[in-house]
Amino acid sequence: MVLQYIESIAWAVGIALLIRTFLFEPFKIPTGSMIPSLLIDDYIFVTKSSYGVKLPFASSYLVRWGQPERGDVVVFPYPVKGTADYDKDFIKRVVGLPGDHLRMRNNVLEINGVPVHVKVLPEEVSCAGPNGYPCKCIQQIETLGEHEVLTQHFVTQGICINRPDWRTMFQGDMVVPEGHVFVMGDNRDNSSDGRFWGIDGQLEDPEMKGRTVPIELLRGRAHVIWLATDWSRMFSFIP
């Protein structure tokens, strides 16, 4: 009887580990960088087999059958070595694919010379800035590949944000290296992402490898919110 009980537990643990290693893994959203798509303390499932199957505890793929697409929300370990966040899990949205030429112009992302289609929503919304300062945000719907994404940014920077104004960054083309993707948060003015990693927004890395994420590091694609403080968002798909 005892042996059967132990065997049942062992099988259950083994199946759970198999699912977590190769199929799905839960993550908790720790920051507001993906607002309004994902909120702080949302719990999500990441499909680890979105792009292939990796060897356990390794970054290389055992079998690979897909590539990240523009607009995918992905989880990955922070790639910039020598920093406090190195190897911590981050979640962002893929906006640039290998070989893409990216440019920012007047708060609009251009990909290969073509501005991303943007529909600005008419009403400003409240958004909290650092230290609790009240700030207003503009929200807009962006078309990224097959995804329609709701993003937001501060109406004015001032006390709400203390970093270079990304609306005027990347006036010259920057090219995403092969085998990498460029990621950004949906909460555009309150996200630590490839615009700022390691070099404070300056174009000092012409190969962009310090500001992009190697595809082999991607843990998978985020698909579903399975637990949220707002119950209406539970078991909803991530756009």
Distance of CA 171 to the CA centre of its chain: 23
Catalytic residue among 33, 37, 50, 191: 33
Q: Is 209 a catalytic residue?
A: no
Question: In angstroms, what CA-CA distances link 5 with 9, 17, 18, 215?
Answer: 6, 18, 20, 42
Catalytic residue among 37, 48, 92, 191: 92
- Residue holding tokens 């992302």? 109
- CB neighbour class for 197 (10 Å; exposed up to 12, middle 13-18, buried from 19): buried
Q: Report the amino acid identity of residue 60.
A: S
> Over the range 201-227, which residues count as b (16 or more CB within 10 Å of their CB) and which as e?
beeeeeebeebbbebbbbbbbbbebee
Measured distance CA(124)–CA(83) in Å, rounded: 35
The H-assigned helical ranges of the chain are 2-22
Measured distance CA(160)–CA(144) in Å, rounded: 27
Q: Is 92 a catalytic residue?
A: yes
Instruction: Determine contact, residues 151/139, Cβ cutoff 8 Å.
Output: yes
| DSSP code at position 181 | E
- What residues are annotated to the active site? 33, 92
